[in-house]
Structure 1
Amino acid sequence: MIPTRQFALGTLAASMLLASQAATAEITDNEIRIGYLADMTGAYRDPIGPLGEDAIRMAIEDMGGSVAGAEVVLFSADDRNSPDVGSSVVREWIDERNVDMVTGLVASSVTLASVKLLEEENRLGLVNGAVSSGVTNESCSPNHIHWVYDTWAMSNGTASAITQEGNTDWYLLSADYSFGHALERDVTRVVEENGGSIVGSTRHPFPSSDFSSFMLQAQASGADVIALNNAGSDTINAIRTAGQFGITQAGQILAGMVLFSTDIRSLGQEIAQGLQFTTAWFYDLDEEARAWAERFRERTGSMPTQVHAGLYSSTLHYLQAIDAIGNDEAQAVRQQMAATPIDDMFASGGYIREDGRMVHDMYLVEVKSPEEAVDEDDLFRLVRTIPADEAFRPLDQSDCHLVQNGDT
């Protein structure tokens, strides 16, 4: 089997040929048009939302505002976590504004609807917010790249670590849509592979404000671990409800499968301390990450989340690819992006596989106690780095039709 990294670098020669052929091609409309589609007002507003636009604009500004002589134009819209609304916006952007690339793409249901349109019209999608691993598995396409994280990686880090510590009986509380279903499936796989079992499960509407009945069911199950297969305000509300019922004080473990720094701030370190979860990035990762985070805070008044960092990184890599080949045609740009390693404040040695998955290190972190924190931004302790080639679904387990014979 050819290593995935070798595949990515192996496309370099083809990409260079493509670039030479396209070097004289003009940018369509003499503008590079980007659409940012995200939840601006709902459950994912705080961890992604309006501030994601600032992260994209930072990347545009760092390229000088224009690429290959063409101005970069950014549109944004609220998808309201509705596949119908999201796909309608993308359709309007393609038909009326000739958008070249759509990014953000937060709720998995919105993302799956949107990327179908992007493939039909040969536009590029950079998926940063959606978590479902199906985005680059059964729903992969040559027209989108999944950048930040996915359910396979999030569950692989957190669920394996907790189960290996002897906490083998799990109860699953999942958001009732494609993201929650994918996370439920991936957590089940990891728990069972590590000798654990699922003793009960339930699904809650998305979004939900009242988790009382769900948490009482989880408490009554007697499970060692209650997995929260949700995100954003749903996760915050579930953790707060668990605190009101004294669930963790009685000895059950809460495992947040998708958590953001904004969630920890909302909960407060007193409540969140000790929570372990997997993240794609955090701002104290290294000096380069912290420096970029300080730039972001100076601009927005808030420290960035992992998705804000991913939006910057993916947009910058996209624009650099266009700059290298002088062309904004989707397949040419994707080829150039795949041929170029990602080395920036988000990832070191990252690379894009043929299934569209951007592969990079992931991190298991633990929330510090208020006593341990040196300031209000000192939230996490690094428990373990999960190497890139272990973090994401192996290609020999892929159902993506772009992967030759299930592997490379």
Structure 2
Amino acid sequence: MLMKPTLMMAALVSVFSLSTTAAAAVSDNEIRIGYLADMSGPYRDPIGPKGMDAIQMAIDDFGGEINGAKIITFSADDRNNADLGSSIVRGWIDQDKVDMVTGLIASSVTLASIKLLEENNKLGLVNGAVSSSITNQHCGPNHFHWVYDTWAMSNGTASAITQEGNKSWFLLSADYSFGHALEKDVEQVVKANGGNIVGKVRHPFPSTDFASFMLQAQSSGAKVISLNNAGTDTTNAIRTASEFGITQAGQILAGMVVFSSDVRSLGLETAQGLQFTKAWYYDINPEARAWAERFKKITGTMPTMVHAGLYSSTRHYLQAVKDTGTDDTQTVRKKMMETPVNDIFAKNAYIREDGRMVHDMYLVRVKTPQESTDEDDLFEIVRTIPADKAFRPLSESVCNMVNK
């Protein structure tokens, strides 16, 4: 008995639909990722162009495609300018149909970008920006904060140093949103642990001349000088402190955002003894070291914690796309939140309702030249800060997505 034409057509359509569901669910049959970062300024070395290599490593893990949909990337230098950065993101959304934007280094650029991403229902994976407001005052349903934030960095370092009896602090901060947020968080942690702030000064971003700022810090008599900056601002400040004999005279330098590339640039002779909090280090376990060596073969240098975060967050995103068969923002976001993070960056980590990826952090000390066994042996892990203690508790959150 012959099948009626209408039934035959329906059957063929049904079979065709089943065979192409995965591909059709991915918009334009391409998964499009934008990498926005500082490629030429103070964050070039610790993040910059090599961040794209980390992202590509995650893409290569999937063979460059998912369910037949190719993974396409775009990258741009935002020059730490919020207007330029938001213009690039808008172009990616409107013209290039980007599904996800990652990198997002300067806090000012990030805050402008995540607003656009939310307005257009695209996903943002924040890896470089440090301001804790990204998942607090500025939390939203379209972005996650992956590597670190000012609350975690300040809480880990400032609380440990203050609890050791170093009660008087001088705060040197970069004069923009990131520096302001870090300054506020450090001050709160110091005071909560019985310390006091004896002085503050803010420097232009970026800055090459720290002489006057370090003289103020030195003359304040503070036991601890908090460097609430990052990138070349941090390394320039540390070099100036060394030239002035500040640490030799007994004052402590506390770096709030320090990268392995910073320590390598400074050299152990200059950076030795510096304590700070890290989100990741390539010697935390053999798996991390193996991935780092793979990264080094590609780039010529060992990765920073942000490079590892870029790989981890991109891989987690792509796995969610694969598992759901779609690049629909909210479907992928939900899957990412449901799935624990277990990779080279973190173990048994998870994404909270405010968008904060919660994982262990590490308080480290820079080794002396005598303690180091090779050019990549830079840190001693002083202690592990458990995930549930590392980030701002939800009970203190002002995020409107948090149910208290």
Give TM-score scaled by structure 2 length: 0.94
Please, which runs of 5 or more residues in structure 1 have no aligned partner?
1-21
For 1:5-404, list aligned pairs within 5 A. Answer: 26-404=25-403
The answer (yes or no) to whether the contact 1:68–1:322 under 8 Å persists in 2 is: no
Q: Distance in 1 between matches of 2:163 and 2:313?
A: 34
SS in 2 for 1:318: helix
Q: Which amino acid aligns with 1:48?
A: I
Q: Distance in 2 between matches of 1:390 and 1:74?
A: 36
User: Counterpart in 2 of 1:13?
Assistant: none
CA offsets, 1:200-234, max 9 Å, x none? 00100100000000000111100000000000000
Q: Distance in 1 between matches of 2:289 and 2:131?
A: 28
The answer (yes or no) to whether the contact 2:295–2:303 under 8 Å persists in 1 is: yes
Q: Distance in 1 between matches of 2:319 and 2:28?
A: 19
Identity %: 72
User: Counterpart in 1 of 2:9?
Assistant: none
CA offsets, 1:275-313, max 9 Å, x none? 111000000010000000000000110100000000000
SS in 2 for 1:97: coil
The answer (yes or no) to whether the contact 2:22–2:67 under 8 Å persists in 1 is: no
Q: Distance in 1 between matches of 2:100 and 2:288?
A: 25
The answer (yes or no) to whether the contact 1:111–1:127 under 8 Å persists in 2 is: yes
Q: Distance in 1 between matches of 2:68 and 2:119?
A: 28
SS in 1 for 2:348: strand
Q: Distance in 2 between matches of 1:177 and 1:29?
A: 39
Q: Distance in 2 between matches of 1:177 and 1:326?
A: 41
Larger Rg: 2
Aligned-pair CA distance for 1:344: 0.3
CA offsets, 1:75-103, max 9 Å, x none? 00000000000000000000000000000
4+ residue runs over 4 A deviation: 22-25
CA offsets, 1:103-158, max 9 Å, x none? 00000000000000000000000000000000000000000000000000000100
Q: Which amino acid aligns with 2:300?
A: G
Q: Which amino acid aligns with 1:194?
A: N
Q: Which amino acid aligns with 2:336?
A: M
Q: Which amino acid aligns with 1:361?
A: D
Looking at both structures, which has the greater relative contact order when contacts are Cα pairs under 8 Å and sequence separation is at least 6? Answer: 1
Aligned-pair CA distance for 1:23: 6.3
Give TM-score scaled by structure 1 length: 0.93
Q: Which amino acid aligns with 2:329?
A: A
Q: Distance in 2 between matches of 1:111 and 1:231?
A: 16
SS in 2 for 1:348: coil
Q: Which amino acid aligns with 2:289?
A: R
The answer (yes or no) to whether the contact 2:363–2:385 under 8 Å persists in 1 is: yes
Q: Distance in 2 between matches of 1:373 and 1:74?
A: 38
Q: Which amino acid aligns with 1:156?
A: N
Q: Distance in 2 between matches of 1:90 and 1:24?
A: 25
Aligned-pair CA distance for 1:26: 1.6
Aligned-pair CA distance for 1:68: 2.4
The answer (yes or no) to whether the contact 1:140–1:356 under 8 Å persists in 2 is: yes
